[in-house]
Structure 1
Amino acid sequence: MMHTSSVISLGALRVHKWIRFFYSKKEEDNESIGEMILQTRRYRLITKISSTILVLMPVVFYVVWISPRFEEPSVTNPAVIELMSTDEYKYATSEAFERINRYNRGEINADELQGIRAVHQVRGVVVRLKLDPVPRNEPRESGGMKYKIDAEYNISIALGHFVLLFVVELAIVAIALVTWLGGEPKARLEYEDRILQAYFSFESHAPTRAETGHNIVVRALARFHRFAKDLEDRPRNADGITVQNEYDVQYLVNALLRLEFDNVKPEEYAPSMASGATRLDFLLPDHDLVLEIKMTHDSKRMKSLVNELILDIGRYRAHPGCSEIIFFVYDPRGLMKNPVALQKELTEIAGNLPVTLFVSPRT
């Protein structure tokens, strides 16, 4: 029983880990474009830094490889020490010292003394050894002066390794130049800069299509009544602007739309129907949005206004640039009693065409 429980717990743990992994991947996939650009630029920077390090690494390695060349060529030099530890060096010097000792004891003549020349490669340098017998200030019993071994070392760079480094370095530099100079097109970098500027901006990001086409219009219409009232009173006894009919409303709404949108088409023709051609009050082509203006007054019955709105839906839905309709009804005297019911009725009639009824001022 305990074993079965452990198996179930283990299986649950694995499922839990899988779910966490799945959601973590989903969060990663949902990164914003700004974050993706930043991550890409970090990768580019890391690539350039890595290529720079890659260019320098062979040089640094080679300098360390030939470091004995920069030290004094004596018995304390690492290359000389390595040479002295070889069997060839030990054999050659032991023979030379043996001849010197025999000469100093008078067993052989000076003509039998000989020097030693040797060349040995140690890492990236070449060590040249020169051992010569030279007299010392000590008399020999059989006449003449005793001899000693004078050692001379010369260290130079190994040409083969240098050529190999040069070829490898040229290849790496070529790759690095491609990485450094073969960057992204200027147009793409400018596009990324604009996105990053918006990403780091303290202001709100650019609105989406729905926000631009719908919310901004509604926000402007929500201020219309206050805007119209402010225009009625002008300082220094100057004549103000009084909204008396739909044309006045259209005139002021046009001014508000121009503040928000660059492309506003007033009096746009709609496709003809049996009842004749008609015009849209305002069309926002960049957002496929139609704005129709109405104004209530005592002589206009509500039923007549509702019929106009219903007919407008039928006319405007045939326009190729109409994907949404906003009906703006300016009702300064509060003649509309139930705009919520009217909104519901218009929505049902419009079907899949989004229709919004906005009444100002709102009660």
Structure 2
Amino acid sequence: MTVVQETQTYVCRNGHVRTDQFDPNGAPPDGRCLICGEPLLGHCIHCNARIPGKPRAPGVIVANWSLPNRCPQCGAAYPWAEHVSSSGNASNAVARIEQICQRFHLVARRLARRHANRRTIAVDDEYDVQDLLAAVLAADFDDVRDEEFSPSVAAQNSRIDFVLVGPGIAVETKMTRENLTDKKLADELLVDIRRYSEHPEARHLVCFVYDPQLRVKNPAGLVRDLEKTATRFETLRVVIAPRGI
């Protein structure tokens, strides 16, 4: 019989999670939110009930956990509920980012054809993809933060591409290249998905693979396999564009 252990979470008033599997019998984490500097909360400000965290069981991975917006004991809204609701409709924001990614190749091609052959940006590698995508996202979203530090994976600290702070959406970019097989691309994205899942601001994730030379052999299968990965994200989307199949 699997024994599920109750845990609590520590989170700031803006909804930034410091830890989602805290032992209620242990000492609370010190300091303030690492993102915005607000004090950390571990209990409801109305009834003092602990804020429930992700359930924990030996040998079991709990997927699709999300921070609650209301106290399960007294029903009062947590301080971050208003912040989340005022940040806009996340599903609409995700859909807009998907649309931008799907039309990214058209933007890159248009930039390559400037008047009188003036200098332009050539999208030759992932850094070019990041720079151009950041500029396009800035037209729709107020707070696009690039290359935030993320927790270490396999004992190595790494960076992530973008976090859209309002709707809590992270964006990871890839560009296909020679000798990057579908399997290797999938493996890289799985590592990225795991890395993003530890970021306290990311409640949704969009992975954009720019494939201008149509190198991905089975884009539909790759998208299907990655999007069914068990994660804590409320939304996980993978966009491969343009598509040859």
Q: Is the 8 A contact 2:169 2:205 kept in 1?
A: yes
Picking from 305, 312, 329, the partner of 2:192 is 312
Q: Quick one: which amino acid aligns to residue 201 of structure 2?
A: G
Task: Measure, in 1, the Cα distance between the counterparts of 2:87 and 2:150.
Answer: 28
Question: 1:213: Cα distance to partner?
Answer: 2.5
Task: Measure, in 2, the Cα distance between the counterparts of 1:228 and 1:209.
Answer: 28
The 5 A counterparts of 1:26-37 are none
Picking from 213, 236, 240, the partner of 1:355 is 236
Give CA-to-partner distance per residue, 1:40-95, whole Å, 9 cap, x none. Answer: xxxxxxxxxxxxxxxxxxxxxxxxxxxxxxxxxxxxxxxxxxxxxxxxxxxxxxxx
Q: Is the 8 A contact 1:328 1:357 kept in 2?
A: yes
Aligned to 1:120: none
Q: Is the 8 A contact 2:227 2:238 kept in 1?
A: no
Shift in CA distance, 226/265, structure 1 to aligned 2, threshold 3 Å: same
The 5 A counterparts of 1:119-268 are 209-268=89-148
Q: Does 1:293 align with 2:165?
A: no
Task: Measure, in 1, the Cα distance between the counterparts of 2:240 and 2:211.
Answer: 7
SS of residue matched to 2:226: helix
SS of residue matched to 1:242: coil
Question: 1:208: Cα distance to partner?
Answer: 5.0
Q: Quick one: which amino acid aligns to residue 361 of structure 1?
A: P
Aligned to 1:279: 159
Using the size of structure 1 for normalisation, the TM-score is 0.41
Using the size of structure 2 for normalisation, the TM-score is 0.60
Question: 1:351: Cα distance to partner?
Answer: 3.8
Higher RCO (Cα < 8 Å, 6 or more apart): 2
Q: Quick one: which amino acid aligns to residue 357 of structure 1?
A: V
Question: 1:212: Cα distance to partner?
Answer: 4.1
Q: Quick one: which amino acid aligns to residue 238 of structure 2?
A: L
Q: Quick one: which amino acid aligns to residue 356 of structure 1?
A: R
Task: Measure, in 2, the Cα distance between the counterparts of 1:222 and 1:349.
Answer: 22
Unaligned runs of 5+ in 1: 1-205
SS of residue matched to 2:108: helix
Task: Measure, in 2, the Cα distance between the counterparts of 1:235 and 1:335.
Answer: 30
Shift in CA distance, 235/320, structure 1 to aligned 2, threshold 3 Å: same
Question: 1:288: Cα distance to partner?
Answer: 1.2
Task: Measure, in 2, the Cα distance between the counterparts of 1:308 and 1:296.
Answer: 12
Question: 1:333: Cα distance to partner?
Answer: 0.7
Q: Is the 8 A contact 2:150 2:198 kept in 1?
A: yes
Aligned to 1:334: 214
Aligned residues: 158
Q: Is the 8 A contact 1:282 1:290 kept in 2?
A: yes
Q: Is the 8 A contact 1:233 1:239 kept in 2?
A: no
Task: Measure, in 1, the Cα distance between the counterparts of 2:108 and 2:134.
Answer: 13
Whichever structure has more helix as a proportion of its residues is: 1
Q: Is the 8 A contact 1:212 1:287 kept in 2?
A: no
Q: Quick one: which amino acid aligns to residue 360 of structure 1?
A: A
Question: 1:339: Cα distance to partner?
Answer: 1.8
Unaligned runs of 5+ in 2: 1-85
Aligned to 1:109: none
Aligned to 1:94: none
SS of residue matched to 2:166: helix
SS of residue matched to 1:326: strand
Give CA-to-partner distance per residue, 1:190-236, whole Å, 9 cap, x none. Answer: xxxxxxxxxxxxxxxx9951344301211222221110001111111
